[in-house]
Chain A
Amino acid sequence: MDYMKETIDSLHKKLADKELTSEELTNQTLDNINAKQKDLNTFITVNDKAVEAAKKVDEDGIKGPLSGIPIAIKDNIVTNGIKTTAASKILYNFMPVYSATVMEKLEAAGAIDAGKTNLDEFAMGSSTETSYYKTSVNPWDFSRVPGGSSGGSAAAVAAGEVVAALGTDTGGSIRQPSAFNGIFGIKPTYGRVSRWGVIAFASSLDQVGVMSKRVEDSATVLATIAGHDDHDSTSSNEPVPDYRANLNKDMTGVKIAVPKEFWHEGTHPDVVESTKKALDAYKKMGATVEEVSLPTLKHAVEVYYVLASSEASSNLQRYDGVRYGYRAKDVKNINDLFVNSRSEGFGDEVKRRIMLGTFALSAGAYDAYFKKAAQVRTMFIEELSAVLDKYDLIMGPSTTSPAFKIGEKVDDPLAMYMNDILTIPANLAGLPAASVPAGLAEGLPVGLQIIGKPFAEQAVLNAAYALQEENKFYEKIPTALKGED
């Protein structure tokens, strides 16, 4: 099965009409994934129990829209009985004994777990290059990164391996790879989706979200995974709308703010042009577009790297070689066990973040870094909130450039971190945000970023849907795949 021209609705129809069984669909999906692995490397683990699960769905009968449809899962979301590594050596053999709430919800809806997609180690990175296992590639140009950290999920969707995939987004890890691969991706409001069973990176920023070629498919999956969970006290009681049924492309009277600081210096001219073209399209649809200012934005990367690294250094203390994961050999005492397991199990980028965070939290640096960053975060939240009091949506480019070359930035952490400048704001303020394809820059996809008010996922989805129906980007086949068929 090649999902280039399929949607959840079209597949559901075939399954419900018995034109196709879930078993057949799942077999075809896995064959296609396995055939493309050598070029794309999108998966760490293909789920060898998927066909079994599909047979069961066939026996029980096709029910809701996701029933019998394979979905790819980022490998930092734990799946009962399916290896979950977070792309780290330290979890090379970790076999979860329970599933994340999002997985239980997908399973209850009859969705099939196609397998676990590649990411940057512990979701720390923007290219999948920090994965211990493999670097995924961009289906538009095999010499380029798919972005990250949800790069495997994004490339798998763009290449037609699955119709939708779950990702996680701490500083842009859904939106940046979505932009780089020419697909749609949404990070919901902080608290919209349960994080139970999602391997923690930075707990005040992490959210689970969805990636798909078409907005309507993400709407269906998001409505399935959203909602309160007793296991996650940060998950909200806010009711979950039927995002799919409520999709509406009417932009009449919608007020759009464009922060002038989003036109970051050094932004690729074609990115600027595609973004402006999208904004013009919204004007023609009856929306108003006005420039605003977010003066504190220039400090967003600084705030993010202090806070995210600090939270990561705390969250990653649990990896000590005692209860699960990699355990160092030939150690004499318990302290060597901790230190050697961690030093041998973590990769360079993860060590870098742990070091940065430990530094920011250490006596003598705490007030100047950790507390200071948390204060600037408050100022930034207030700035964004003031804009969203007057406007419905904030828009701008998702990234400053299209996908970069594999190897181009891997040795320059600072350049890699600056990549996140446009996506970090929504995480710092906990706002829902999406990236929707807006055009091409030198033949590579460009994403428009849409940020909404808290719990206004519907408004974000609707705006993305309006642009999708205008430019029909989903009809484009990624360049590097064209020669293959």
Chain B
Amino acid sequence: MISKEEILHVAKLANLKLQDDEVDDFVSQLGQIVEMEGNLADVDTTGVEPTYNMGDTNTVFREDKGIHTQTREQMLENVPETDNNLIKVPTIVDKEDDE
């Protein structure tokens, strides 16, 4: 089971805004999925190391040498709004906070 409050809390953490009908769908769907995932509690994992990464975990060293990849212009090509070769975004600090 997962409550409506939990869904709203998780949505906030994930930077998602849900419509009312989406919240209801998620309460029921995520509830079922989380219940299925809860079966993991049946497995005795005492003393078992978790696997978080795959492949060679050896640290790789390389020479600290600069390489040219993209230009500034290329990197800004996909930016929705630019100003003077800078990324433009809406207000970061609310006006009220300034006062």
Chain A residues within 8 Å of B, Cβ to Cβ: 93-95, 97-98, 190-191, 204-205, 230, 233-236, 296, 299, 301-303, 305-306, 313, 317, 320-325, 327, 331-334, 336-340, 342-343, 346, 348, 351-352, 354-356, 358-360, 362, 368-369, 371-379, 381, 413-414, 417, 430
Total interface residues on B, CB under 8 Å, equals 54
By beta carbon, the residue of chain B nearest A365 is B34
List residues of chain A with CB within 8 A of the CB of B39: 299, 302
The answer to whether B36 and A97 touch across the interface, beta carbons within 8 angstroms, is: no
B54 & A374 in contact (Cβ 8 Å cutoff): no
Query: Does B5 count as interface, using CB distance less than 8 angstroms?
Result: no
Does A327 lie within 8 Å of B40, measured CB to CB?
no
Q: Does B45 contact A (CB under 8 A)?
A: yes
Contact A302 B37 (CB under 8 A): yes
Query: Contacts A299-B39, A358-B10 given; 16 further ones with Cβ under 8 A?
Result: A93-B78, A97-B77, A191-B55, A204-B54, A233-B60, A303-B40, A305-B36, A322-B89, A323-B78, A338-B15, A343-B18, A369-B34, A378-B51, A379-B43, A379-B48, A413-B29
Bitwise interface map of B from 14 to 54 toward A, beta carbon under 8 Å scored 1, else 0: 11111000100010011011101111111101001111111
Quick check: A356 and B30 within 8 Å, CB to CB?
Answer: yes
Could you give 27 example pairs across A and B, Cβ below 8 Å? A97-B75, A190-B55, A234-B55, A234-B56, A235-B55, A299-B42, A301-B36, A322-B87, A323-B78, A324-B79, A333-B91, A333-B94, A340-B17, A342-B15, A343-B17, A352-B30, A355-B26, A355-B30, A362-B9, A369-B34, A375-B43, A375-B48, A375-B50, A375-B51, A376-B43, A379-B45, A414-B29
The docked-state distance in angstroms from the alpha carbon of A204 to that of B54 is 6
Q: Most A CB atoms within 10 A — which of B7, B90, B92?
A: B90
B residues bordering A, Cβ < 8 Å? 2, 6-7, 9-11, 13-18, 22, 26, 29-30, 32-34, 36-43, 45, 48-56, 60, 62, 69-70, 74-75, 77-81, 87, 89-92, 94
Query: Please, which residues of chain B bring their CB within 8 A of the CB of A235?
Result: 55
Quote the shortest CB–CB distance from A347 to chain B (angstroms). Answer: 12
Q: Could you tell me the distance between the alpha carbons of A322 and B81 in the complex, rounded to whole angstroms?
A: 8
Task: Report the minimum CB–CB distance from A96 to chain B (whole Å).
Answer: 8
A449 to B94, CA, bound (A): 57
CA distance A355 to B15 in the complex (A): 10
Residues from chain A with Cβ under 8 Å of B14 in the complex: 313, 342, 354-355, 358
B77 touches A381 (CB 8 A): no
Q: Tell whether, in the assembled complex, residue B53 and residue A369 are in contact, meaning their CB atoms are under 8 Å apart.
A: no
CA distance A303 to B90 in the complex (A): 40
B33, A191: Cβ atoms under 8 Å?
A: no
Contact check, A362 vs B92: say whether CB atoms are below 8 A apart.
Answer: no
Give the residue of A95, A317, A334 whose beta carbon is less than 8 angstroms from that of B92: A334
Inter-chain contact B56/A337, CB cutoff 8 Å: no
Shortest Cβ distance from B14 into chain A, in angstroms? 4
Chain A, Cβ-Cβ closest to B52 = A374
Cβ A337 vs Cβ B89 within 8 A: yes
A430–B33 CB distance below 8 A? no
Q: Decide if B34 touches A356 in the complex (CB within 8 Å).
A: yes
- Which residues in A have their C-beta under 8 angstroms from that of B51? 204, 374-375, 377-378, 381
What is the minimal beta-carbon distance from A385 to any residue of chain B, in angstroms? 12
Report the nearest B residue to A344, measured CB to CB: B17
Q: How far is the CB of B84 from chain A (nearest CB, A)?
A: 16
CB pair A323 B79 closer than 8 Å? yes
